[in-house]
Amino acid sequence: MSEFADVLRSWRDRVGPADVGLPAGAGRRTTGLRREELAALAGVSVDYVVRLEQGRATNPSPQMLRALAVALRLSDDERDHLYRSAGAAPPSAGIVPRHVGPGVQRIVDRLGDVPLAVFSATHDILLWNPLWAAVNGDPSRLVGLERNLVWRHFTSGHEGTEFDARHEEDFASDLAADLRAAVGRYPSDPSLGHLVSRLLEASPEFARRWAEAKVAEHRASRKTVTGTPVGPIAIDCDVLTAPGDLRIVVYTVAPGSDDEARLDLLRVTGLQSMAATSAG
């Protein structure tokens, strides 16, 4: 049995369902995750997990290794060992970090009563809770550049979301400035260079803001999400910096407001609708 298969199986056994927000259920013969649970968390087939653990699947992609590391709540050192044992180079220090460590994962698991998501320093969405998906739509359906907030904002607009004039200007300006700050920290990251090049080609507005050479971090905004099934919800959006140069984006609403009542309703009806869609 290979080292990769050994550690994958051992790390699956040590992660309980409660650690990843899953019900334990009755009649479990193991305290760790079942193969089908790991497969669902990592977005792969159960058969592929079986082949990995039996050493019959070789050379998993970096994207697959990253998904497994997140699903298994691996530390940075454990993630690097997973990569090396699979014959892949661990993410370089000069590359934008995209690993969500166990501490940040626990924040997402425990704050299920507010919409919350984790983004990289370049605004790629990495992790989210069900209420975030109920408010914004399911990010798992997005692929490639569509998973990047800056790309979507400057090339597709913000359908389903309204800003007042000041907050719309601040939001667009901050996104471009935050991306430039990331370029300063990770000048050798090829995917970041590709993103900026594509944005300069596709969006005159982004090109204009990029030419201003503003450097800043996006920290907060206020907007109204209009595309929810329960009606418009006015939201305060705060951005918290987390270890690993990650961004935790948290939505809150004014206590006692109609927006709070709608978010409470969405917490029930929206999640039920998503569960029904997934089951179908």
Please tell me the CATH superfamily of domain 3-85, with its number: lambda repressor-like DNA-binding domains (1.10.260.40)
- Secondary structure of 150-194 in the HEC alphabet? HHHHHHHCCCCEECCHHHHHHHHHHHHHHHHHHHHHCCCCHHHHH
Q: What does the pLDDT read at residue 246?
A: 94
Predicted structure pTM score: 0.79
* pLDDT per residue as tens digits for the range 210-250: 999 888 877 888 899 998 889 999 999 999 999 889 999 99
pLDDT of 274 above 70: no
For 26-75, the pLDDT digits (tens) are 666 777 888 998 998 888 899 999 999 988 888 889 889 988 998 898 98
CATH architecture of 102-279: 2-Layer Sandwich (3.30)
Q: Is the pLDDT of residue 280 over 50?
A: no
Domain spans of the chain, in order of start: 3-85, 102-279
Could you identify the residue written with the tokens 């990843």? 20
If residue 247 lies in a helix (H) or strand (E), which one and from where to where?
strand 246-252
Residue-wise pLDDT for 146-160, tens only, equals 999 999 999 988 777
Equal fold, 3-85 vs 102-279: no
Tens digits of per-residue pLDDT, 170-206?
A: 889 999 999 999 999 999 899 999 999 999 999 999 9
What is the SS3 assignment for 117?
Answer: strand
